Amino acid sequence: MKKGFLTLLLLPCLIFAQEAQEYGVFTNLMLTAHPEKITEFEAGLKAHNQKYHPEGAYQASVFFVTSGKNFGKYIWSMGPLPWSAMDNAPGDENGHNADWNANVAPYALAESEVNYWRADMERSNFTKDFQLKNLAIFMLDMKRFKQTQFMAVLDKVTKVFKTKDPGQQWGVYFNELNNMDGQDVVWVNFFDSSSWMSEEDKFPQWFEEVHGEGTFIPFLTDFEAATNGDMQELWVFRPDLSGSDGKVQAVASE
């Protein structure tokens, strides 16, 4: 049976058994195409992914950023795979690096950024199979030494959405490495139609329906105390550039 696509922002359930059970990590590389070489950049990236990163442990998917300061950039996402498998990723020995350096890097700007994301399956919601299309990214900057308080806030948010909107599919991911860029936690909503963007925000109402009357304002106080701020972006899955097929499989509740 063909394995469904699991992505960054999706399902880290590719587990490698060793002495202890390991978890999957997504490697996300942000790339900027040279403005005069976009056609060459995309052609090189497509060929590279199809040859070196098709379905499997080292599969790669590509997303295009359609809003915010990163508009026009590409997210190359590989995985999920455990840290122990990182050293065996495609490299010099099979022509991988030479191909990247010859057919992708020359058509990209020197600026780039890499992050490693671990999915929190307890707080994510993958209850049905779906096809990747659009992603709403909600990035959070967690205050130093406030992880316990932040997790309490996140648990309340998760309970609201799992109670009031269980059909929505989302993933929660934590950055594996410390950073000063406000990229500690990301909540990713997966959607087909952008029409939901114009819908009324019912979260305050839902929150009090789940947690009790008068609980929303104290929640905002706790949220502010645990975070420095947030950032939102919209991404679009680019199947034409990806090695993966964009299929996401449901995950059974534990």
Q: In which residue ranges of the chain is CATH 3.30.70.100 found?
A: 25-118, 130-233
CATH class of 130-233: alpha beta
Check the CA dihedral 126-128-129-135 and report its sign: negative
Q: Which residues contact 152 (CB under 8 A, 6 or more apart)?
A: 222
- What is the residue type of 20? A
- DSSP 3-state of 228: strand
* Residue 80 phi, psi (nearest 5): -85, 150
Could you report how far apart the first and last alpha carbons of the chain are, in Å?
23
pLDDT of residue 10: 46
- Summarised one tens digit per residue, pLDDT across range 169-216 is 999 999 999 999 999 999 999 999 999 999 999 999 999 999 999 999
pLDDT in tens, 99-145: 999 999 999 999 999 999 999 999 999 999 999 999 999 999 999 99
Any idea which fold 25-118 has? Alpha-Beta Plaits (3.30.70)
Question: Is the separation of the CB atoms in 25 and 79 below 8 Å?
Answer: yes
Q: What is the pLDDT of residues 25-72, one digit of tens each?
A: 999 999 999 999 999 999 999 999 999 999 888 999 999 999 999 999
Confidence class of residue 15 from pLDDT cuts 50, 70 and 90?
very low
Least confident of 59-68, 80-89, 141-150: 80-89
Say what the pTM is.
Answer: 0.89
Report d(CA 142, CA 154) in Å as an integer: 11
What does the mean pLDDT of the chain come to? 92
Give the whole-angstrom CA distance, residue 105 versus residue 34.
Answer: 10
Secondary structure percentages of the chain, helix, strand, coil, to 5: 30, 30, 40
CB 236 within 8 A of CB 64: yes
SS3 state of residue 219: helix
Beta strands, E only, the chain = 25-33, 60-65, 74-81, 108-119, 130-131, 134-142, 169-175, 185-191, 227-237, 247-248
Check residue 17 and report its DSSP letter: B
Q: How far apart are CA 64 and CA 135, in angstroms?
A: 10
Token digits of residue 124: 């994510």
